[in-house]
Structure formats: C-alpha cells, structure tokens
Structure 1
C-alpha cells in the first residue's frame, strides 16, 4: 500500500494532517487535498484566495512562485511532522 503524501510538497504525511481546498470555499471550492500543517500555512501566507482559485488543483503551478519554491526546497528534507513558524512574504 502506498503511503499518503502531501498534495503540495509530496513528502509522506505525518500524524497531523490538514485538508486544503485547492479552490477556496469562498470561491465555490468543495474538493480537499491532504497537506502538512506547515505546507497549508505556507500556501495561505503566500497566495490570496483569488491566486489559489486561478491555480486550482495544480500544485506545480503554485510551486513556480519564487517564495513557495524556496519554501519547498527548504522543507524537502524535513521529517513529516516538522513544524516551524510561518513567515509571511513581504507584499507591496
């Protein structure tokens, strides 16, 4: 049996799992995807709901953002239940 993985970073999921709406509920989204809590926070710290709606169910499109790409490179070697405070990128 395959171990479940995070929708965003593709690492194995740990004990704590959150459900992310690729299309935000406020934009009519119903489907959810399993993500690490730290990945979920990084998504919402980096993107607006409008941005998330445009990307839809495509984590590769989101990963093209330089801030998220840096996060994904940093988190890649961390254990599944790793957590740290989430920094918000500076927005103009």
Structure 2
C-alpha cells in the first residue's frame, strides 16, 4: 500500500511505491539497467503519446536505422520491428550484454 505524506501546504497525497524491479526493454526484452530511456514508439512529431522503457543502446539503434515515417508505420508493435533482419541481428547481438552496455552505432546507409 502506498505511503501517505503531506506536501508543503499540508495536503495529504499518496507517495509512489518504490519500484522493486527494473522495467523490461520494449525492443530486446531484457531487464533495463540504471539508465532507462522512455521512448515514443510512434514519434511525437507523428502524434505519438505513449512511451515505453528501453535501453539507451536499443533506442539509439532505432533512431539510427529508421525514419520517423517507418517508426510510425510499425507503431506500438515491437514484433513487426523484430521481423526486420537488421533488428533481429541487433537483438541477438545485444542479448548477452550487460543492461548498462552502451556502444556507438553506425547509421544505415540510405
């Protein structure tokens, strides 16, 4: 149960409970580390409002390899992204890495 606290004006409000588990990355399905990026699968410029937890390296991969139009077409469906051979190769490569692993990524040649 959430703990009650008073703000500086004396109004009682519920304090959020401490997260006991790290969220799961939307793209690779691994537990996130200390740094969690809240990514918009549908870009904000295309009307996206929902966010999902991701590793920074996973988000960087998506940004480097997909345009906003492509991300909008995939929407909230991570499965359709995983069907792409480049994404599947990246996810299998990053699967054994530490949750806080970061790496520079090359951009896809267009």
- The alignment's TM-score, normalised by the length of structure 1, stands at 0.92
Residue 42 of structure 1 corresponds to 61
**Aligned positions of 1:1-92 closer than 5 A:** 3-91=22-110
More helix as a share of residues: 1
Runs of 4+ deviating beyond 2 Å: none
More strand as a share of residues: 2
Unaligned runs of 5+ in 2: 1-19
Deviation at 1:90, TM superposition (A): 1.7
1:67–1:89 Cα contact (<8 Å) kept:
no
How many residue pairs get aligned? The number is: 91
Deviation at 1:86, TM superposition (A): 1.1
Deviation at 1:3, TM superposition (A): 4.2
Structure 2 residue matching 1:34: 3-state secondary structure = strand
Which digits, 9 at most, give the CA deviation of each residue in 1:7-46, with x for residues without a partner? 1100001001111101100000011001000000001111
Structure 2 residue matching 1:39: 3-state secondary structure = helix
> What is the root-mean-square deviation of aligned Cα atoms in Å?
1.2
- What is the rounded CA distance, in whole Å, between the counterparts of 1:2 and 1:15 in structure 2? 11
